[in-house]
Amino acid sequence: MKKIIHTLKAPEALGPYSQAVEINNTLYISGQVPVDPVSGSVVQGGITEQTEQVLKNIGAILEEAGYSFENVVSSTCLLSDMSNFRAMNEVYARFYPANQPARAAFAVKDLPLGVLLEIVTIAAR
Protein backbone atom coordinates (compact mmCIF):
# COMPACT_ATOMS: atom_id res chain seq x y z
CA MET A 1 0.00 0.00 0.00
CA LYS A 2 1.23 3.46 -0.90
CA LYS A 3 2.15 5.76 2.01
CA ILE A 4 2.64 9.51 1.65
CA ILE A 5 5.59 10.89 3.63
CA HIS A 6 5.57 14.48 4.88
CA THR A 7 7.74 16.36 7.35
CA LEU A 8 7.93 20.00 8.41
CA LYS A 9 11.73 19.56 8.56
CA ALA A 10 11.88 19.70 4.75
CA PRO A 11 10.37 22.29 2.41
CA GLU A 12 6.74 22.04 1.40
CA ALA A 13 6.14 20.75 -2.12
CA LEU A 14 6.14 23.52 -4.74
CA GLY A 15 3.25 21.92 -6.61
CA PRO A 16 0.76 19.05 -6.62
CA TYR A 17 3.13 16.31 -5.45
CA SER A 18 4.31 14.69 -2.22
CA GLN A 19 7.69 15.13 -0.56
CA ALA A 20 8.01 11.35 -0.77
CA VAL A 21 6.02 8.18 -1.35
CA GLU A 22 6.80 4.77 0.16
CA ILE A 23 5.63 1.53 -1.38
CA ASN A 24 6.96 -2.04 -1.06
CA ASN A 25 9.81 -0.97 1.25
CA THR A 26 11.03 1.56 -1.30
CA LEU A 27 11.01 5.32 -0.69
CA TYR A 28 10.75 7.69 -3.65
CA ILE A 29 11.77 11.23 -2.67
CA SER A 30 10.68 14.02 -4.99
CA GLY A 31 13.37 16.36 -6.28
CA GLN A 32 14.63 18.50 -3.42
CA VAL A 33 15.83 22.05 -3.93
CA PRO A 34 17.86 24.20 -1.52
CA VAL A 35 14.97 25.77 0.33
CA ASP A 36 15.28 26.26 4.08
CA PRO A 37 12.15 24.66 5.56
CA VAL A 38 11.98 27.25 8.37
CA SER A 39 12.19 30.42 6.28
CA GLY A 40 10.75 28.96 3.08
CA SER A 41 13.50 30.74 1.13
CA VAL A 42 16.35 29.54 -1.05
CA VAL A 43 19.52 29.41 1.07
CA GLN A 44 22.08 32.12 0.53
CA GLY A 45 25.41 31.24 -1.06
CA GLY A 46 26.60 29.16 -3.96
CA ILE A 47 26.61 25.52 -4.96
CA THR A 48 28.29 24.37 -1.73
CA GLU A 49 25.63 25.89 0.52
CA GLN A 50 22.82 24.83 -1.80
CA THR A 51 24.04 21.22 -1.98
CA GLU A 52 24.33 21.10 1.81
CA GLN A 53 20.72 22.28 2.19
CA VAL A 54 19.36 19.87 -0.42
CA LEU A 55 21.02 16.94 1.34
CA LYS A 56 19.75 18.13 4.75
CA ASN A 57 16.24 18.22 3.27
CA ILE A 58 16.68 14.70 1.90
CA GLY A 59 17.98 13.56 5.29
CA ALA A 60 14.90 14.98 7.04
CA ILE A 61 12.58 13.09 4.69
CA LEU A 62 14.58 9.89 5.05
CA GLU A 63 14.40 10.19 8.84
CA GLU A 64 10.65 10.88 8.82
CA ALA A 65 10.12 7.68 6.83
CA GLY A 66 12.46 5.62 9.04
CA TYR A 67 15.32 5.43 6.54
CA SER A 68 18.86 6.82 6.51
CA PHE A 69 21.42 7.79 3.89
CA GLU A 70 22.68 4.19 4.07
CA ASN A 71 19.36 3.08 2.57
CA VAL A 72 19.73 5.31 -0.51
CA VAL A 73 20.14 3.23 -3.67
CA SER A 74 19.92 5.93 -6.35
CA SER A 75 20.32 9.70 -6.75
CA THR A 76 19.70 11.90 -9.76
CA CYS A 77 21.44 15.27 -9.55
CA LEU A 78 20.16 18.06 -11.77
CA LEU A 79 22.57 20.97 -12.05
CA SER A 80 22.01 24.35 -13.66
CA ASP A 81 25.65 24.32 -14.80
CA MET A 82 28.09 21.38 -14.98
CA SER A 83 30.88 23.69 -13.87
CA ASN A 84 29.35 23.24 -10.39
CA PHE A 85 29.77 19.45 -10.53
CA ARG A 86 33.06 19.25 -8.62
CA ALA A 87 31.92 21.44 -5.71
CA MET A 88 28.56 19.62 -5.54
CA ASN A 89 30.38 16.29 -5.54
CA GLU A 90 32.59 17.31 -2.60
CA VAL A 91 29.55 18.04 -0.41
CA TYR A 92 27.66 14.99 -1.69
CA ALA A 93 30.60 12.74 -0.72
CA ARG A 94 30.33 13.82 2.93
CA PHE A 95 26.77 12.46 3.09
CA TYR A 96 27.74 9.18 1.36
CA PRO A 97 31.19 8.24 2.74
CA ALA A 98 30.77 4.50 2.00
CA ASN A 99 28.47 2.21 0.03
CA GLN A 100 27.53 5.06 -2.27
CA PRO A 101 24.27 4.84 -4.24
CA ALA A 102 24.04 4.66 -8.00
CA ARG A 103 23.92 8.19 -9.42
CA ALA A 104 23.37 10.25 -12.52
CA ALA A 105 24.13 13.95 -12.93
CA PHE A 106 22.77 16.18 -15.65
CA ALA A 107 22.95 19.82 -16.63
CA VAL A 108 19.47 21.23 -17.23
CA LYS A 109 18.30 24.50 -18.69
CA ASP A 110 16.36 25.81 -15.69
CA LEU A 111 15.39 24.69 -12.20
CA PRO A 112 12.56 25.87 -9.91
CA LEU A 113 13.16 29.17 -8.10
CA GLY A 114 16.38 29.70 -10.10
CA VAL A 115 18.32 27.30 -7.85
CA LEU A 116 21.64 25.71 -8.82
CA LEU A 117 20.63 22.08 -8.22
CA GLU A 118 17.87 19.60 -7.47
CA ILE A 119 18.36 16.03 -6.28
CA VAL A 120 15.90 13.14 -6.71
CA THR A 121 16.44 10.19 -4.34
CA ILE A 122 15.33 6.56 -4.05
CA ALA A 123 15.92 4.50 -0.89
CA ALA A 124 15.11 0.87 -0.10
CA ARG A 125 15.13 -1.43 2.91
Domain count, the chain: 1
Q: The domain that contains 87 carries what CATH number?
A: 3.30.1330.40
Q: Predicted confidence band at 14 (pLDDT cuts at 50, 70, 90)?
A: confident
Q: How far is CA 112 from the centre of its chain?
A: 14
Compute the average pLDDT of residues 28-53: 97
Q: Which of 10-14, 16-20, 67-71 has the lowest mean pLDDT?
A: 10-14
Range of the domain at 22: 3-124
Compute the average pLDDT of residues 101-113: 96
> What is the rounded average pLDDT for all residues in the chain?
97
- Write out pLDDT tens, residues 48-92: 999 999 999 999 999 999 999 999 999 999 999 999 999 999 999
DSSP for 35-80, please give it. Answer: B-TTT-SBPSSSHHHHHHHHHHHHHHHHHHTT--GGGEEEEEEEES
Distance CA 47, CA 45 (A): 7
